Amino acid sequence: MTISRRDVIKGGIALVSIGTTAQSLLKGAVAFAAAQENAVNPAGAGKILILVQLAGGNDGLNTVVPAASGTYRSARRTLALAEDEVLPLGEGFGLHPGLKGLKQAWDAGRLAIVQGVGYPNQDYSHFKSMAIWQAGDPELKLRDGWLGRALEKLESSEHDPFLGFNIGNSTPPELQTPAVSVPSVTDPSDYAFKVRGTAADMREPRTATLLRLYEEYPAQSPYGVLLETTAETAVASSAALAEAGKRYQPAVPYPETSFGAGLSLMAEAIVGGLGVRVGHVTLGGFDTHTNQAEDHAELMAALDAGLSAFLADLEAHGRADDVLVLTWSEFGRRVAENANGGTDHGAGSVMFALGTQVRGGLYGETPSLERLVDNGNLGYTTDFRRVYATVLDGWLGVPHEELLGSRWDSLGFVTL
């Protein structure tokens, strides 16, 4: 059977490297134009960062609860959690009662909580604020994603197809870069070349012909290098993931949620030795304008069950010391509850850093409930870029100043 370029254009045959969308393909038209100086700290070799996005704007006040505060209870007459209900952390704070696994991590010194995280001139749009966090730049002047820029540094010495790995349908903006192709996967059985909508064996004649078509596209032509490297990455990564799946058995049961399934797949890639250095998983639903008490409790339980299983699985497989989990959300919620049993878009919130190598404790200054900003919001006390800088330097071994455009003091919750 002969395959023409016209067949490809008409859509009769599709090359699918899940998570490498048409937009990101065109964006990454040129692989490295110039050699990058390898400034990566070798002490970070093999260390893995898993970024967990709490999409929608997580309510930090009902996650890390100032339970001893009368101001908190007055502002949230129905949503406030009682002091004897939260899981005590000391200093008048407690975790949401749904975070029992994270409380165990806290007791073991494996959970760092960063308070009052935000940035100057808070934007209350989901899309704009997410873009700021994803770029690592409140002014949105830096190119691509903050972790995409980190992957470029790592790519200069490592060439694993799973250097960056996302659980989902498309590459998240924080991992985007023209230099590194990041696989995104939801279903491993569907992560492959497809011929007329069906996953194809790499030895299948039509697939082989398609690969030759990409190989024969002149490298000096527009997008030529990109097409060649993307095809090679797709072949290598789909084969590697399939092989890892044959060897991997979860050591613990995961919750039957999409978040749990995503973390299980991430563990499969890590345990399978696929070279993951940066992973990304999303838990959505945090835009709790209504019915927050019930919805937020379910989200906290889902977060806790998924992360607890993930870390227990990695520990059983001997990989826990290599992994740091970092949570983020585009903003917090307002201090006062609204008339619909929920909270509206806020500012300062909390981040979790979780792992066996974390120096547990509370980090950053506690934002004041008495001195609110923007008509009822917690002000930020810790710039999110300090958290990024801590992780880049102290875990991945990548100097942060060039990647973030300025220098930030480390918070010290993890160091190489």
Phi, psi of 35 (to 5 degrees): -65, 140
| H or E element, residue 281 | strand 278-284
Lowest mean pLDDT among 128-132, 205-209, 329-333: 205-209
CATH fold, domain 37-188+253-404, is: Alkaline Phosphatase, subunit A (3.40.720)
Q: Where are the domains of the chain?
A: 37-188+253-404
Reported pTM: 0.84
Strands (E), 294-374: 323-328, 349-354, 361-363
Confidence of residue 264 (pLDDT cuts 50, 70, 90): very high
pLDDT at position 15 is: 32
pLDDT at position 241 is: 79
What are all long-range contacts of 264-269, with beta carbons under 8 Å and residues at least 24 apart? 264/309, 264/310, 264/313, 265/167, 265/185, 265/188, 266/50, 266/165, 266/167, 266/310, 267/310, 267/313, 267/314, 267/317, 268/188, 268/241, 268/244, 269/162, 269/165, 269/241, 269/244
CA nearest neighbour of 342 among 53, 56, 76, 60:
76
pLDDT at position 124 is: 97
**Integer Cα distance of 404 and 385 in angstroms:** 7
Residue 84 CB-density burial (10 A; 0-12 exposed, 13-18 middle, 19+ buried):
exposed
CA nearest neighbour of 346 among 103, 124, 64, 191:
124
CA nearest neighbour of 383 among 413, 347, 355:
347
Asked if pLDDT for residue 268 goes beyond 90, the answer is: yes
Strands 48-55 and 323-328: parallel
Q: How do residues 163-178 score in pLDDT, each as one tens digit? A: 999 999 999 999 999 8
Average pLDDT over the chain, rounded to an integer: 85
Confidence of residue 208 (pLDDT cuts 50, 70, 90): low
Q: Which residue has the tokens 């838990």?
A: 283
Residues 348-363: b if buried by 16+ CB within 10 A, e if exposed? bbbbbbbbbbbbbebb
Confidence of residue 12 (pLDDT cuts 50, 70, 90): very low
pLDDT at position 3 is: 33
pLDDT at position 11 is: 33
Confidence of residue 159 (pLDDT cuts 50, 70, 90): confident
Asked if pLDDT for residue 17 goes beyond 50, the answer is: no
User: Which residues 6+ apart lie within 8 Å of 97 measured at CB?
Assistant: 81, 85, 86, 87, 297, 300
pLDDT at position 74 is: 96
Confidence of residue 181 (pLDDT cuts 50, 70, 90): confident
CA nearest neighbour of 166 among 147, 152, 150, 149:
147
Phi, psi of 345 (to 5 degrees): -55, 130
pLDDT > 90 in the chain, percent: 70
Confidence of residue 213 (pLDDT cuts 50, 70, 90): low
Q: Which amino acid would we find at residue 285?
A: G
Asked if pLDDT for residue 299 goes beyond 50, the answer is: yes
CA nearest neighbour of 105 among 351, 307, 403:
307
Asked if pLDDT for residue 38 goes beyond 50, the answer is: no
